[in-house]
Structure 1
């Protein structure tokens, strides 16, 4: 069911254990949206938080009619939480932003203005200044985007999940059959007209990062296997290279045997076996990643389950 006024703008915010930063986020976000002069809604997706995030959200709903709470039954991951929010948002324009205030809410107004002025479907928030990030974070992020570009991924450099999309773009993204879609790569592949808005990335306002190294590695792996078949080609080339080396070693062994200079010792044998074993394991691992993605797609299991939506609850109470 829909409320009386359909919002022009939906702000989708995935949240996981954000009780420390949530008050600061609301304090900065609400004035920005109120001053924009457009009908809006804020869709906060509680991704199975174990702290007081859900309680705080319900508390803020009491005097903020535009705030909407969607709670997932279990922690499903950052990308799944964003997809859940996009699927339930009702705006003509939708912007995704994290609650940690590293991406400034003040940029949302500029994004909407850019989208209307330039008649584009996607406005990427590009991190033009990452001086607040650690050297390790900057280096790995730069390497990630360079690798993605080499593999054929489109999109702006240093553009994370802070972006604004038109309703047509969101509908196209949600129609994609991928189970583990990485939105920062899936959106550019659509080829819709786009623009960029630069901003300085700030330090996290409070709390701890919800993207440790393990999750970053998983995101990278999903990105690589989701955007390109290049690793499969690497496996093929490794196999061909191994065949050539094995053939050369075989010729050398035959010539050495015929000339009476046969190879002695076991070290060389162990080295050769180890090298080819490593190649084979690497190729099997790469193939396994793609087979795993195919298996997941064939299962077609939902990436998330909705436990509660404050909009539906409010509408039900109104009818009653």
Structure 2
């Protein structure tokens, strides 16, 4: 007899009072549809994770939970960032659900891709990545920066799935292993591939945001990329070593040239060339110190071992097996 898996849809929210009334019914319809088709258990849930919103998001989540038992919610004590909110929802589901699907609440990710994700899980895949099939709707600038973002991550040694964000299915078995990762600096797109297990991808078209405005501008995307690189790879340090060696060889060659010119009596005073060399080498040194400082800062934060999330409120008190 086939046993349907118990699903938890994890949805991070931050100041989403405009879009939540639009997308919440869609999530409910999807989970009821999957249940009717015997793809998931009837007692599957939708878990909203309020990441310290300043608007009426938490009040809406509580209202939804009161109206329908499929909705549940947890609230972080303060805003801790998207990755921490996703992790909080995933960890909350351990011991209660067989599979989780994390998805943003803005309606841009195609919820119908969940059907194929669950089918792939039934075939034995423990992780199923939701991957954008194209970026035709993006502006040239958005498409160029996004594609460069993924290429840069891979070049720098951070193993990520191309064009995949945080829309994915994960089995409870994988989540239990992920819970053993204790990093404070989170980059789930790179951490989950490190866990391993059998995985695959499903492809979908991304839509326009249904309401409200994006809370992930280019500056945050660049910050996430840099965090991913420095959290998962030491390649930048190796690049510094190579660059430092190259600059040292170049400087040594210049020194030999200057000595030869001096012995030949052909030296002339020139402040421009001196300033150019000093500025160039000084700039390289500052860049290298900045990258090294970033790693030292991360080491400092990791040694403190502060909690990655703190749950201050729950809409439910008892939702275990």
TM-score (norm 2): 0.92
Name the counterpart of 1:287.
292
User: Is the contact between residue 13 and residue 82 of structure 1 (CA under 8 Å) also seen in structure 2?
Assistant: yes
- 1:5-34 Cα distance to aligned partner (Å, 9 max, x none): x97101110000001110111121111100
Name the counterpart of 1:246.
251
Name the counterpart of 1:216.
221
Rounded to whole Å, the distance in 1 between the matches of 2:197 and 2:49 is 26
Please report how far the alpha carbon of residue 151 of structure 1 lies from its aligned counterpart in structure 2 after TM superposition: 2.8
3-state SS of 1:311 partner: coil
Instruction: Please point out which of 45, 53, 59 is paired with 2:63.
Output: 59
Instruction: Please point out which of 16, 19, 22 is paired with 1:18.
Output: 16
1:35-114 paired onto structure 2 within 5 Å: 35-37=33-35, 38=41, 39-89=43-93, 90-114=96-120
1:295-314 paired onto structure 2 within 5 Å: 295-312=300-317
3-state SS of 1:252 partner: helix
Instruction: Please point out which of 251, 262, 267 is paired with 2:267.
Output: 262
Please report how far the alpha carbon of residue 120 of structure 1 lies from its aligned counterpart in structure 2 after TM superposition: 1.0
Unaligned runs of 5+ in 2: 36-40
Name the counterpart of 1:225.
230
Please report how far the alpha carbon of residue 35 of structure 1 lies from its aligned counterpart in structure 2 after TM superposition: 1.2
TM-score (norm 1): 0.93
Unaligned runs of 5+ in 1: 1-5, 316-320
User: Is the contact between residue 158 and residue 228 of structure 2 (CA under 8 Å) also seen in structure 1?
Assistant: no
Rounded to whole Å, the distance in 2 between the matches of 1:53 and 1:180 is 26
Rounded to whole Å, the distance in 2 between the matches of 1:135 and 1:173 is 36
User: Is the contact between residue 13 and residue 42 of structure 1 (CA under 8 Å) also seen in structure 2?
Assistant: yes
Rounded to whole Å, the distance in 1 between the matches of 2:136 and 2:268 is 57
Rounded to whole Å, the distance in 2 between the matches of 1:49 and 1:12 is 16
Please report how far the alpha carbon of residue 172 of structure 1 lies from its aligned counterpart in structure 2 after TM superposition: 1.5
Name the counterpart of 2:38.
none
Rounded to whole Å, the distance in 2 between the matches of 1:188 and 1:220 is 16
Aligned length: 308
1:256–1:301 Cα change, 3 Å: same
Rounded to whole Å, the distance in 1 between the matches of 2:306 and 2:294 is 18
Instruction: Please point out which of 184, 187, 194 is paired with 1:189.
Output: 194
Rounded to whole Å, the distance in 1 between the matches of 2:49 and 2:160 is 26
3-state SS of 1:262 partner: coil
1:120 aligns with 2:125: yes
Rounded to whole Å, the distance in 1 between the matches of 2:160 and 2:255 is 47
Q: Which moved more, 1:151-160 or 1:135-144?
A: 151-160
